[in-house]
Amino acid sequence: MTWLDGKVAFITGIGKGQGRSHAVRLAREGADIIGIDALKTYPWMNYRLAERADVEETIRLVQAEGRRCFFAQADVTDLGSLQRALAAGVAELGRLDVVAANAGAFPKGALTWEADPAAWRECIEVNLMGVFHTVHAAVPHMLAAGNGGSIIITSSGAAIVSGSYLGDYSAAKAALLSLTRTLAVELAPHWIRVNALCPGAVNTDMIANDALYRMFRPDLEAPTREDTIEVWKSKHLLPVPWLQPSDISNAVAWLASDEARLVTGVTLPVDAGNTIKYV
């Protein structure tokens, strides 16, 4: 027996990075997967979000675990497309037990009073409204089934630790912590648990890009990934430069399972001690 035998998990932003890792891990635990991805990169980002080939690789990896994977292209900022995609997935796979509200986007960064208002608004739309839309689409299916379940919201260490240049992202991620607590109260009578994860720096394209290398090492003309290792390490209590997507997926799998059946309304940092070092 594995933790999620016979269950179905809905994951947003499934194409690559943490979303792909969550899909594979939950499939390994026995869950069939409903996944969506916008297949879209915003001009206010420094890195590329998923494309069709990325999604095809995620589907292959889930199927290699012996589980089914339903995918539909949908954007978390578009409630209608999200609802249609999820309804089709539930119709095909039969139920909904777990929601991993993972989709998000990391901006280039600017001082708050110098930020572009349109980019700021869009960042909030993706990172905050996108989670609201995800929950809005998913909860009715969970209530109709009457099986309880687990919702895991991906916030960020940036919701806990303050810094410069990411006012839009940090504000959205901090709001998710409040939303998590509200949902935990609202859904507890239905045995639906709601928790928030606050990942630290995870080894994905979000932190592995030239713009971030330059931000961390402005003293170098063309810094590389290796040039940033000691800077990253200095931010953690545990002596690692960054986390792996699987480190976050391990927490998702636990929160999704009955091993955490009485855990709800919590904010769980998975960050090698970053937030406790600075709080």
- Tell me what pLDDT residue 51 has: 98
**How many CA atoms within 13 Å lie on the side-chain side of 173?**
26
Angle between the N-to-C axes of helices 130-145 and 79-93, in degrees from 0 to 180, rounded to the nearest 10: 30
Cα separation of 34 and 24, whole Å? 12
Write out the DSSP string of 40-60. ---TTBSS----HHHHHHHHH
| pLDDT of 48 strictly over 90 | yes
Contact between 103 and 176 under an 8 Å Cβ cutoff? The reply is no
| pLDDT of 249 strictly over 80 | yes
Cα separation of 141 and 190, whole Å? 12
| pLDDT of 89 strictly over 80 | yes
The single-letter DSSP state of residue 235 is T
Cα separation of 181 and 253, whole Å? 20
| pLDDT of 1 strictly over 90 | no
* 169 catalytic per annotation: yes
Best CA proximity match to 87, nearest among 134, 38, 141, 12: 141
The single-letter DSSP state of residue 9 is E
Strands 192-199 and 267-270: parallel
Contact between 69 and 37 under an 8 Å Cβ cutoff? The reply is no
- Tell me what pLDDT residue 226 has: 96
Q: Residue 229 is encoded by which pair of tokens?
A: 């290792």
Q: How confident is the model at residue 278 (pLDDT cuts 50, 70, 90)?
A: confident
Best CA proximity match to 68, nearest among 149, 138, 9: 9
- Tell me what pLDDT residue 215 has: 86
Q: How confident is the model at residue 221 (pLDDT cuts 50, 70, 90)?
A: very high
Cα separation of 225 and 74, whole Å? 32
Give the burial class of 234: count Cβ atoms within 10 A of its Cβ; 0-12 exposed, 13-18 middle, 19 or more buried.
exposed
Active-site residue, selected from the candidate residues 47, 169, 213, 278: 169
Q: Residue 189 is encoded by which pair of tokens?
A: 């009578």
- Identify the structural domains of the chain with CATH numbers, from first to last: 8-203+244-269 (3.40.50.720), 208-241 (no CATH)
Q: What are the pLDDT digits (tens) for 134-179? A: 999 999 999 999 999 999 999 999 999 988 889 999 999 999 999 9
Contact between 50 and 26 under an 8 Å Cβ cutoff? The reply is no
- Tell me what pLDDT residue 192 has: 98
Contact between 248 and 197 under an 8 Å Cβ cutoff? The reply is yes
